[in-house]
Structure 1
Amino acid sequence: MPIDTIAVATDFSSRADRAIDRARQLRQSTGANLRFIHATSLAEDDPADIAALTQRMRLTTGLDDKEDGVEFVFPAGSPPAAIANACERDDISMLVIGPARYNTLGDFFLGTAVDYVLRNMAKPVLVAKMRANGPYRQIVAGTDFSVGSAHAILTAARMFPEAAIHVVHAWHVPFQAWQKDSYVAEEVEKAELQNMKQFLARLKEHEARLGDATYELVMSNASEAIRRGLELDPSALVVLGSHGASGFRQAAIGSVTSDLLRAIEADTLVVNTKDAEV
């Protein structure tokens, strides 16, 4: 899945700068087209000043929409819906957004409206938190061994073919309060290790380079598993599936994935895995 066209959402604030910088870096390394989106918050029958918006977008992005491969889009309406709708075109490879403030009217992405953006985006969404100092060298992918997480990892591996893959899995002892014997934990860990090896073998069947993927089992929660993975490279890209099971389950983008988006200080790619078939 090559990266052909990247959509970038901006509200013209400094919070969007890292999304813009990451998109420009991706363009440099992949040659992708860039589609910058600013939702006007106006009613559809209320005309926007396109000339003024275009000038501001040029100043914000440092690019000109007259340049080949650069496009400015100014959809009307509520920003989360307007941005998602502007990304419906089939040529979009991903949407890149920056973290917004929490619990304010400007909290379009990492607050309650993250549900809308992620649930209504069929394509991957990259939340850019870190400075774009270079291409991603490492991918840290959380897995629950589900079809969805396999799809997310395969998608990321194909989008970023130069990045090394490190797969993490959080596990726990069922009914741990009553399972005091150490052999119980050892048996559970042994089973999880076998599941991990089988999972990676299935991934290798679809993408040969994943035969070189490294992995770690962490007896904790999903957040700690991701943090442990990031110890290898704090600038790594975290990859999560939008739907999963066990430690990475969420009913509607709002529990584990949403919590990780808030808690993890790393760029995070969320891949829509609702209809995954891998």
Structure 2
Amino acid sequence: MTIDTVAVATDFSSRADRAIDRGKQLRQSAGAKLRFIHATSLPEDDPADEGALTTKMRLVTGLDNKEDGVEFVFPAGSPPAAIANACARDDVSMLVIGPARYNTLGDFFLGTAVDYVLRNMTKPVLVAKMRANAPYRQIIAGTDFSIGSAHAIITAARMFPDAAIHIVHAWHVPFQAWQQDSYVADEVEGGARADMDRFMAQIAEREGRLADATSDLIRNNASEAIRKGLQLDPSALVVVGSHGSSGFRQAAIGSVTSDLLRAIDADTLVVNTRDAEV
């Protein structure tokens, strides 16, 4: 999957600036077309002042919709649904959004705009938290060895062909408080290492450049595994699948993914993996 058209959502606030800047950087590095989206929140039968909105969009993006490959879209209706619908065209490769509402645990569970978009987008969603100073040189991808995580990693490898890829897996000893013998941890780690070796071979078979990917096993939780991977390059792109293969699942996206979006201070690409798990 190449990056052809990037949709960028903005509410005209400063918190959307990093999404806009990342979209512009992808235009420069990947030659992507840009579709800037501002949902008006107006009823569909109440037309917006497109002239005023266009002027404002030019100011916040620094671009003109008369330029080749630049489009401004002002859909009506509820912003989350309007954004998702504006990305439904087949030519959109990904949506870039700011972190916006990922501020508190309660806010997340109440159902935010970001959460709605992640649930209703079939295309990858890039949550831009960092300044877009350069193209991504490194990808840090988490895996639970599921079909879904393999799909997410392969998708990212194809979208960002020049980025090095490092894959991490978090492991722990079940019922650790009762498991005092060191051999139990050794057995669990050995099993995880065998699973990682098989996983790496499988994804390399499907996408040749992943034969050069590196990997690591971290005895901790998923967030700490990603954080350790980010020590290689704090400006790296984190890649996760929208759903894991096990554990509690929220109605929206997998609980591990939602935890990472709140906890990790890095740009994060969420790849929809629901179809991959069928």
Counterpart of 2:178? 178
Counterparts of 1:94-243 in structure 2, within 5 Å, are: 94-102=94-102, 112-243=112-243
The root-mean-square deviation of aligned C-alpha atoms, in Å, is: 1.9
TM-score scaled by structure 1? 0.94
**C-alpha separation between the residues in 2 aligned to 1:77 and 1:138?**
38
Pair 185,152 (structure 1): closer, same or farther in 2 beyond 3 Å? same
Counterparts of 1:66-77 in structure 2, within 5 Å, are: 66-77=66-77
1:244/1:250 contact within 8 Å kept: no
1:61-88 deviation per Cα after TM superposition (whole angstroms, max 9, x unaligned) = 0000011100000001111111001100
1:143/1:248 contact within 8 Å kept: no
1:209-256 deviation per Cα after TM superposition (whole angstroms, max 9, x unaligned) = 111111111111111111011011000000000011247965531622
1:170/1:247 contact within 8 Å kept: no
2:21/2:131 contact within 8 Å kept: yes
**C-alpha separation between the residues in 1 aligned to 2:68 and 2:139?**
30
Counterpart of 2:89? 89
Counterpart of 2:7? 7
Counterpart of 1:266? 266
Asked if 1:35 is matched to 2:74, the reply is no
**C-alpha separation between the residues in 2 aligned to 1:21 and 1:248?**
35
**C-alpha separation between the residues in 2 aligned to 1:216 and 1:247?**
22
Counterpart of 1:256? 256
**C-alpha separation between the residues in 1 aligned to 2:164 and 2:251?**
30
1:250/1:257 contact within 8 Å kept: no
2:7/2:37 contact within 8 Å kept: yes
Pair 249,166 (structure 1): closer, same or farther in 2 beyond 3 Å? farther
Pair 193,124 (structure 1): closer, same or farther in 2 beyond 3 Å? same
Counterpart of 2:22? 22
What fraction of aligned residue pairs are identical, expressed as a percent?
82
The amino acid of 1:23's aligned partner reads: G
The amino acid of 1:88's aligned partner reads: A
CA shift, 1:103, in A, is 6.4
TM-score scaled by structure 2? 0.94
1:124/1:271 contact within 8 Å kept: yes
Pair 247,277 (structure 1): closer, same or farther in 2 beyond 3 Å? closer
**C-alpha separation between the residues in 2 aligned to 1:113 and 1:34?**
21
1:144/1:247 contact within 8 Å kept: no
CA shift, 1:114, in A, is 2.8
**C-alpha separation between the residues in 2 aligned to 1:260 and 1:111?**
16
**C-alpha separation between the residues in 2 aligned to 1:3 and 1:101?**
26
Question: Secondary structure of the residue that 1:276 maps to in structure 2?
Answer: helix
Pair 248,268 (structure 1): closer, same or farther in 2 beyond 3 Å? farther
Unmatched runs of 5 consecutive residues or more in structure 2: none
**C-alpha separation between the residues in 2 aligned to 1:90 and 1:128?**
22
Counterparts of 1:48-59 in structure 2, within 5 Å, are: 48-59=48-59
CA shift, 1:115, in A, is 2.6
2:204/2:211 contact within 8 Å kept: yes
2:238/2:269 contact within 8 Å kept: yes
Question: Secondary structure of the residue that 2:51 maps to in structure 1?
Answer: helix
Question: Secondary structure of the residue that 2:26 maps to in structure 1?
Answer: helix
